[in-house]
Amino acid sequence: MNYSAEEIAEVINMLNHEDLDIRSVTLSLNTLFAVSDVPERSIEKLSSLNPALSRFSEVVELVEEKLGVRIVTKRVAVSPVQYFLEPIPEMEYAVKLGKHLDSMALKSNLDYIGGFSGYADRGVSRGVQAMLESLSEVLNSTTRLSGMLNAASTQEGLNVDAVKLFTAQLLKMSPHASSRVAIMANSPQDSPFVPSAHHGRGMPNSSINIAVSGPGVIAGAVRRAKPSSFQELYEVVKKASFKVTRLGELVGRVVSEELGVPMGSVDLSLAPSPKVGDSVAEILEVMGISRVGGHGSLAALALIMDAVKKGGSMATNLVGGLSSAFIPVSEDSIMALRMKEGHLELNDILAMSAVCNSGIDMVGVPKSEGEEKITALILDVLSLGLILNKILGVRVIPLDGKPGEEIDLGGLLGKVVIAKMKEVDSSQFTSRTGFIPTPVKRLELG
């Protein structure tokens, strides 16, 4: 394939001036071989992976230097700890396991290790129960470990009891700890992003999963092209997305070859960061929405989503993960600003969740609102995932403070703005027990 001088110059500009980078290279590992009814034996078997993790870290740094492409984070995803806790459903063991995984990431110079996770779509097994009971203690005492609870799926329903257990733990967490855990519907088995990353069922023993970035590239392309019709706008986004995804495919293939591990998937998601010029909200505003949250925001985001998926899927046949656009409020500087200004509200983000896959992500909520109201908010998001058969999640940060106030978590996490919640009591609804049954859409699956 031949490239014109103009195309080469465009890619150089993307790398140097539009924050084109690889958000994450994630090594997904099957760790079920280490499951045992003797805690010490499990810890010992997990420790045998340390050389492989260190080698992975070295290879990613080597590829970064070789290709001249910035790789923001190195991550590992392991099998859900739920399976480790089924034979020994004890909180003490869960804490020990979580801390050991965290230390493995630290020793191997990894940014995150995902997999303190479990599935409770229909019911809570004893392994998940132990995981949930230890969740706040584990995440409060670690720095690189992330976790996820899948509490809903279109095939199984929505487990309200599990959501309540999760919310109770969430309110005991520090802001940094709560940024490393999510509750989800229809969680993917091959996500390279934390906190959803874990080595899912049906996956090979090991694989490389790639998370791209690129909001600045899309915004820059729209700004330069000045499209006058929606078809032209769509084409600009689609072509830019192809180039972003192609870079992710290249990096993944090279890491895969160097490491001798199969290539898994490329997540097409546009992932913002707090840096200026790396914002999904900026794309919407460049498209003509003067302030994100205004009418038209949902239509603009839907257009981006579809164009990104079509362009990205032409660049790789290994589409995986969440593959949409992320709207994590604190991680997107313009989105955080619009929430602080009052243009963007929780219901706006909930509506946007219908056309993207991040759900309500990295939003502050007042601790004073209490368990019932936060549970109700989570149920709103997971119900969308249930009915629409979509991957959706909730990552909220309970904070002491009033709506509009913020706390700076630093790095990729940015400034978390406390959102205003509706002054409506939903406790009579959420006080019910059990699960919400599967929707009619389940019948389409056979």
Q: Which stretches of the chain drop beneath a pLDDT of 50?
A: 1
What is the reported pLDDT for 127?
98
- Amino acid in the structure at residue 199: H
> How buried is residue 349: exposed, middle or buried, by Cβ count under 10 Å (0-12/13-18/19+)?
buried
DSSP 132-183: HHHHHHHHHT-SSEEEEEEEEETTTEEEHHHHHHHHHHHTTS-HHHHTTEEE
Whether the CB-CB separation of 114 and 76 falls below 8 Å is answered with: yes
What is the reported pLDDT for 20?
85
Whether the CB-CB separation of 210 and 251 falls below 8 Å is answered with: yes
The C-alpha atoms of residue 151 and residue 163 are separated, in whole angstroms, by: 7
Q: Classify residue 294: in a domain, yes or no.
A: no
Q: Tokens for 363? A: 């939003």
User: CATH code at 109?
Assistant: 3.20.70.20
Q: What single-letter DSSP state applies at residue 270? A: B
What is the reported pLDDT for 7?
61
Q: Classify residue 220: in a domain, yes or no.
A: no
The C-alpha atoms of residue 305 and residue 334 are separated, in whole angstroms, by: 19
What SS3 class is residue 121?
coil
In angstroms and rounded to an integer, the radius of gyration of the C-alpha atoms of the chain is 21
Whether the CB-CB separation of 28 and 256 falls below 8 Å is answered with: no
Q: What single-letter DSSP state applies at residue 293? A: T
pLDDT tens-digit map of 360-387: 999 999 999 999 999 999 999 999 999 9
Whether the CB-CB separation of 81 and 24 falls below 8 Å is answered with: no
pLDDT tens-digit map of 25-53: 999 999 999 999 999 999 999 999 999 99
Q: Chain centroid to CA 221: how far?
A: 25
What is the reported pLDDT for 17?
65
Helix (H), strand (E) at residue 40? helix 39-47
- What residues make up the domain containing 158? 23-185
Q: Which residues contact 309 (CB under 8 A, 6 or more apart)?
A: 241, 268, 323, 324
The C-alpha atoms of residue 218 and residue 97 are separated, in whole angstroms, by: 41
| Number of separate domains in the chain | 1
Q: Classify residue 33: in a domain, yes or no.
A: yes
Q: Classify residue 84: in a domain, yes or no.
A: yes
Q: Tokens for 22? A: 């690889």
What is the reported pLDDT for 240?
93
The CA-atom distances, in angstroms, between 57 and each of 41, 105, 344 are 25, 10, 39
Q: Classify residue 56: in a domain, yes or no.
A: yes
Q: Classify residue 100: in a domain, yes or no.
A: yes
Q: Does a cis peptide bond (omega within 30 degrees of 0) precede residue 80?
A: no
Q: Single out the residue of 350, 417, 355 nearest to residue 380, CA to CA.
A: 350
DSSP 304-339: HHHHHHHHHHHH-S-B-S--SB---GGGSHHHHHHH
